[in-house]
Amino acid sequence: MTDPRKALAQTFTAEPLVGVIMGSRSDWATMQHCSETLAELGVPHEVRIVSAHRTPDWLMEYAGSAESRGLQIVIAAAGGAAHLPGMAASKTILPVLGVPMDTTVMNGMDALLSIVQMPGGIPVGTLAVGKPGAINAALLATAMLGIAHPELREALRKLRQKVTAKVLADLDPRVPLPPTKA
């Protein structure tokens, strides 16, 4: 089996500021929207599978070394028991944002409730369930990074202006949308 620390060292890109972690490949269907949003905003980030239950030592290594590796925020997908965000938060002083996955038996409600019930002392910021939460985690992380990185604040400002313009261009739902350009 490949040592995950060696794989980590070999696949880092230019100084990632955000670590996006998930318990399994199946979470990628949701968390790809987080990664895509971070990329659109120009936020350097890494994406890793780090299972709280199947690879606890790897989780401790990943979260425990996040700060020293230059990460500033961790975004963690949360399955039914939602252990990944909480355990990551217990091993780092960095902000951890939890995204409840909607792939569980309870459609993410179990993960949502688990994250918002974190005991006092180890906070995990909780986002919406599923794709909206993944996107908003990226937007929130960018806003947080924007305090020290003005170029990221401006990228976020431009994205919000673009979203506003899109809504204002389509105020009357009775009017057909113009054809999209190919």
For the segment 130-148, what is each residue's pLDDT rounded down to a tens digit? 999 999 999 999 999 999 9
Q: How many residues does the chain have?
A: 182
Q: What percent of the chain has pLDDT over 70?
A: 92
In a domain? residue 175: no
Higher per-residue confidence, 14 vs 63: 63
Q: In this predicted structure, what is the pLDDT of residue 6?
A: 54
pLDDT in tens, 81-124: 779 999 999 999 999 999 999 987 788 888 898 888 888 999 99
> Quick one: average pLDDT of 8-19?
70
Average pLDDT over the chain, rounded to an integer: 91
In a domain? residue 150: yes
The CATH number of the domain where 42 resides is what?
3.40.50.1970
In a domain? residue 131: yes
In a domain? residue 128: yes
Beta-bridge mates of residue 75: 20, 97
* Structural domain containing residue 142: 15-168
Beta-bridge mates of residue 97: 75, 125
Q: In this predicted structure, what is the pLDDT of residue 120?
A: 92
In a domain? residue 59: yes
Confidence band of 166 (pLDDT split at 50, 70, 90): very high
Output phi, psi for 54, to 5 deg.
-90, -25
In a domain? residue 112: yes
In a domain? residue 173: no
The answer, yes or no, to whether residue 10 has pLDDT greater than 50, is no
In a domain? residue 86: yes
Q: In this predicted structure, what is the pLDDT of residue 79?
A: 86
Find tokens 């269907």 and name the residue. 29
Q: In this predicted structure, what is the pLDDT of residue 56?
A: 95
Find tokens 């313009």 and name the residue. 165
Evaluate whether 93 touches 109 at the Cβ level (below 8 Å).
no
Confidence band of 1 (pLDDT split at 50, 70, 90): very low
Q: In this predicted structure, what is the pLDDT of residue 11?
A: 46
What is the count of structural domains for the chain? 1
